[in-house]
């Protein structure tokens, strides 16, 4: 949950993209005020959050890997670049599966049997993060929402890219102000 006196709700626009975003969110991320994956759920009509890691509520493959889509897992160690050449080989709209957790949690999700046989892609090399609320080492480790924004920019460019990026930067600034670090 975000800080209650920091609200970006009035500025949020909902976008209806052809692509879908499915966020596999580690259970420890769900209530973190600095979680960015929740922005995608708020701003993209065709998105969902699937909690992962709750012993009493295991995630189900059918909630993540969806029929009628080319399912793609986005993760930095994948060998296939997400780019126009790769997209030209796809026959169906994309269901982008995004792993939301710290790097270790995301790595475990990446190797999960829930995702067996699903194509794995990465963003083009050299991504830089504007996320200053958590310590992220390495240029390829960007926040969940930054990865989603960049992927949308590649898969289905349009007004959603700038709108989500603007809300993300506002969220970061507002939280920094609240925490006294801006």
Per-residue buried b or exposed e for 124-148, using 16+ beta carbons within 10 Å of the residue's own CB: eeebeeebebeebeeebbbbbbbbb
Domains in the chain with CATH codes = 12-179 (3.40.1280)
DSSP character for 15? B
User: For the segment 129-176, what is each residue's pLDDT rounded down to a tens digit?
Assistant: 555 544 555 445 688 889 999 999 999 999 999 988 888 888 877 666
Residue 2: predicted pLDDT: 44
User: For the segment 106-117, what is each residue's pLDDT rounded down to a tens digit?
Assistant: 999 999 999 999
Q: Judging by beta carbons within 10 Å of its beta carbon (0-12, 13-18, 19+), is residue 171 exposed, middle or buried? A: buried
């Amino acid at each position: 949950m975000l800080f209650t006196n920091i609200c970006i709700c009035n500025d949020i626009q909902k976008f209806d993209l052809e692509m879908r975003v499915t966020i596999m969110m580690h259970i420890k991320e769900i209530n973190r005020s600095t979680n960015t994956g929740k922005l995608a759920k708020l701003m993209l009509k065709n998105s969902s959050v699937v909690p992962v890691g709750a012993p009493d509520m295991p995630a189900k493959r059918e909630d993540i890997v969806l029929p009628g889509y080319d399912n793609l897992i986005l993760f930095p160690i994948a060998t296939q670049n997400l780019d126009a050449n790769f997209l030209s080989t796809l026959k169906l709209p994309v269901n982008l599966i995004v792993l939301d957790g710290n790097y270790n949690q995301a790595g475990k999700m990446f190797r999960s049997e829930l995702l067996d046989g699903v194509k794995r892609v990465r963003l083009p090399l050299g991504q830089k993060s504007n996320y200053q609320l958590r310590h992220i080492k390495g240029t390829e480790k960007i926040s969940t929402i930054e990865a989603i924004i960049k992927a949308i920019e590649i898969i289905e460019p349009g007004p959603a890219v700038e709108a989500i990026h603007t809300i993300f930067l506002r969220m970061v600034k507002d939280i920094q102000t609240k925490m006294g670090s801006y």
